Amino acid sequence: MPKEFGTHEIHGKALIVEDEITNRLILKKLLQKHGYEVIEAENGRQAVSLFEQHQPDIVFMDVMMPEMDGYEATIQIKQRAGNSFVPIIFLTAMQDEKALARCVEVGGDDFLSKPYSFTVLSAKVKAMERIRILQQDTRMLYSRMQRDQEIAEQVFSGAVVAENVALEHIHSLLQPASLFSGDLMLTAFAPSHDLYVLLGDFTGHGLASALGALPTSEAFRSMTAKGFGPHQILQAINNKLYTLLPTGMFMAVQFVKIDHQLDHIKLINCGMPDCYLIDKDGRRIKQKINSQSLPLGIAPDINLKDDFHFLKINEGDRIILATDGVTEARNPKGELFGQIRYIDAIKHSIDHDYILDNLSGELQEFCSDAPQDDDISVVEIPLIRQMFPALGSSKAPNKKVEHELPETILKEHPDCIEFQFTLYGAQLRQADPIPILINSIQETAGLHDHRRPLFTILTELYVNALDHGILKLDSSLKQGENGFTDYFQQREQRLNNLSQGCVRINLRIYSQDSGGHIIITIEDSGNGFDYSNHKKDSSNDQLYSGRGLLLVESLCKQLHFFKPGNKAEAIYAWEKTK
């Protein structure tokens, strides 16, 4: 088919399908004046064969012909042309509107009335040329867009998905409505060995919705690695999304922190469907957590700390998180899958290893071949010990150093690094000193491989000082079905009313050629606690008190409490690997 570039023409091939030889000759002469190479067919069957052999650029098709009429020939030619635009102009003297409509239905692009006019033919050919150029440009742009999306998807997968942990245990259904998903799942281990899981749902779906996943992933991973708490991470993500996202775009989110001792979970729901804590045996819903918080990115500087739920768990229980693409999935009749079917699928999964096996099967059967309107994401987290790394596992395994401590570290010595951090009154309810201290230790002493055990030691001792020394909380409150909820509710209430007291943290780091030691001293202004009974309490598996201090003892060279129990000194020792 000819295309005009300035004053130049590129000549193409034209296929004339006409059983009348006179009409063929007239049209052939007209097309040759346009510079076309002309191929002739006497009927539809011959036209299909010649089209496959010569791949013409334009086809002129008569309707009534022997062996195969123009309708059927057009259908077959369009099928063989595939995505290429090959215009078919019907040759007709008909005035029957139904017959003309049939020409369009089978794929015809225009009509040329008999007898033929060179002026009309020229106008129609040029019109088809313009359409073809537009079609080729569109295909080129679409191909480029697909390539860009493929590259972006690779970047997205590498930056967002690749660093997820515990995927051999976490079961998920992540079904995007297009190449890119507006839903995202992020998982990471905190330095405390607790597991953080975030399921997010951005407004809409596709590439535009997925753009927010990159800053979300960056904030989630960097802050989790540094030891920040869930509410601090979500507040940072919220502020970043509020700054970056356009008005009307936001991210609904479910965030769960799973304690590595499988005592409790800490969970928040921000603008998402209900999430569930499921009993390990009977698939009974133990807890339903509905949304009580704004999605992220709507308002600046939101405070999510008080919106978290603290739930006691048993080993083997399961957590189910899901986006609204599940309940709002439609079947061919336009009916919604809905909340009732969703809950029934959970309850009826007793014969399956995973709840998601039954849920995904029922969802697929319900939706059948109906188009998918939104991204569908469901995450099932089994609360099992195999999901967590062994304490102390790292590039340099943390083993308890058995050699005697040098005398120099037991008294003042100038050759050391020392930090002192003191929090007073209201600062105790606002600040979290542990991530700051861990980052300082890593930057100054280079103890990156010991980040996890040091985080555990500092966190347990600081929380012990704050909870029992300053807030005067009793760990026995954690017992019972709602023990953790009651304990943390009282903790938040007392923190919010706190105006006096202080906690002082002192670190002295001694490095030697063979290794080193850190002396960690934490002192609170409280009355102390009965530290002599913490071993007895921790030996009872039914109690939730004392186990943190027992863990600290297992990681340290020494752990000593001073009377009356408001001051603790821990010595952590390490050997340099060869």
The residue extents of the domains of the chain are 3-137, 163-387, 407-575
- Same topology for domains 3-137 and 407-575, yes or no? no
111-160 pLDDT, tens per residue? 888 788 888 888 888 888 888 888 888 888 888 877 877 777 777 777 78
438-457 pLDDT, tens per residue? 888 887 777 888 888 898 89
- Give CA–CA dist 203/195, Å, rounded: 26
Q: Compare 441 and 274 and report the one with higher pLDDT.
A: 274
Q: Is residue 88 a contact partner of residue 108, using CB atoms and an 8 Å limit? A: yes
pLDDT at 11: 62
Question: How confident is the prediction for the chain on average, in pLDDT?
Answer: 84
Q: Compare 413 and 505 and report the one with higher pLDDT.
A: 505
Which H helix or E strand runs over 171?
strand 171-175
Q: Please say if the pLDDT value at position 23 is more than 80.
A: yes
Predicted TM-score (pTM) of the model is: 0.69
Q: Is residue 185 a contact partner of residue 251, using CB atoms and an 8 Å limit? A: no
The CATH number of the domain covering residues in 163-387: 3.60.40.10
360-403 pLDDT, tens per residue? 999 999 999 999 988 999 999 999 999 988 654 444 344 444 44
pLDDT at 1: 47
pLDDT at 534: 59
- Give CA–CA dist 480/509, Å, rounded: 41
Alpha carbon separation from 308 to 76, 379, 497, 574 (Å, rounded): 63, 19, 19, 37
Q: Which amino acid is at 315?
A: E
pLDDT at 396: 39
- Give CA–CA dist 236/215, Å, rounded: 10
Q: Tokens standing for 532? A: 């002599």
Reported as half-sphere exposure (CB side, CA atoms, 13 A), residue 26 has a value of 13
pLDDT at 122: 85
- Widest CA span in the chain: 117
CATH entry 3.30.565.10 includes domain 407-575: yes
Q: Please say if the pLDDT value at position 478 is more than 60.
A: yes
- Give CA–CA dist 398/505, Å, rounded: 23
Q: Which amino acid is at 172?
A: S
pLDDT at 394: 41
Mean pLDDT computed over 495-499: 86
Q: What percent of the chain has pLDDT over 70?
A: 89
Q: Please say if the pLDDT value at position 8 is more than 70.
A: no
pLDDT at 119: 85
Label residue 2 by pLDDT band (50, 70, 90): very low
201-246 pLDDT, tens per residue? 998 766 767 778 889 999 999 999 888 989 999 999 999 999 988 8
pLDDT at 496: 85
Could you give the dihedral angle defined by the CA atoms of residues 341, 253, 383 and 357, in that order, rounded to the nearest 10 degrees?
30
Mean pLDDT computed over 530-555: 65
451: nearest Cα among 393, 522, 388, 523: 393
Reported as half-sphere exposure (CB side, CA atoms, 13 A), residue 497 has a value of 7
Least confident of 140-154, 165-179, 538-552: 538-552
Which H helix or E strand runs over 363?
helix 355-367
CATH entry 3.40.50.2300 includes domain 3-137: yes
